[in-house]
Amino acid sequence: MGVALAMVFFVAPVDADQGISQKIFYFHVPIALTSYICFGTGAWKGLRLLWTGAERYDLESYTAIHQGTIFGALTLITGSIWAKASWDRWWVWSEDQLVLFLVLFLFYCAYFMLRFSIEPGPRRERISAVYALFGAALIPVSALAIRLSQRFIHPVVFTRHGPGMTHTQFAAFCVCWVAIAVLAYVMYRIELVGKRSDAQLQDLREAVAT
């Protein structure tokens, strides 16, 4: 069932992309934006967890951050390929977005390590939630920091090609973004169902064993 559902949404973004000048941009930027949304959702669910103490927000927050990290890794890879295509270098430190994603990627990798090093229980839920909140605060602060750092690390600024977007390009971009967002949402739901069933099975097994 999960596979079929995923396949349906697989097709959607591909369709929307046809007939448009093939650019990584249409995938790279929506994935990056969606990744922010995922991290934001994770933080929001974390806040809800701290607020209400309802256990279900823990898995929701975790799943959202899981999604965000997958999309973040994709952003890094596609961005790196884009940099290679445009500037003939695999990595450019002058690209704010990419550097920010590297920082975030490291931060959220540490999230998983922290999470798995703590025994499951209410304390782990709360620590994960606080961590997710810190992530949401770190995104704008890091963005600002990286922008500031460009001034002393890189006096020369690369110019990106393909400056302004035409209307059709913008429309295509929006369609792509919607498609990716829907894809992310579906992935999020599927992951969530999977993780919930996993937890429920665990409970059941304990109930049967006793």
The Cα–Cα gap between 188 and 68 comes to 10
171 part of the interface to other proteins, by CB under 8 A: no
Which of these segments, 1-9, 32-40, 54-62, 165-173, binds other proteins (CB under 8 A)?
1-9
Q: Which of 32, 43, 59, 138 binds other proteins (CB under 8 A)?
A: 138
Q: Residue 208 CA to chain centroid, in angstroms?
A: 38
Six-digit token pair at 148? Answer: 């500031």
Contact assessment for residue 173 and residue 30, using Cβ atoms and an 8 Å cutoff: yes
Which of these segments, 37-45, 54-62, 167-175, 190-198, binds other proteins (CB under 8 A)?
190-198
- Concatenate the DSSP letters of all residues of 120-163 into one string: SSHHHHHHHHHHHHHHHHHHHHHHHHHHHHHHHH-SS-PPPSS-
Q: Which of 69, 72, 142, 175 binds other proteins (CB under 8 A)?
A: 142
CA quadruple 168, 170, 174, 179: dihedral positive or negative?
Answer: positive
The angle subtended at Cα 10 by Cα 9 and Cα 14, nearest 5°, is 115
Residue number with CB closer to other proteins (85 or 165)? 85
Would you tell me which residues interact with other proteins (CB under 8 A)? Answer: 1-3, 6-7, 10, 22-24, 27-28, 31, 50, 70, 73-74, 77-78, 81-82, 84-85, 103-104, 106-107, 109-110, 113-114, 117-119, 122-124, 126-127, 129-131, 133-134, 137-138, 141-142, 144-146, 148-149, 151-152, 183, 187, 190-191, 194, 197-198, 201, 204-205, 208-209
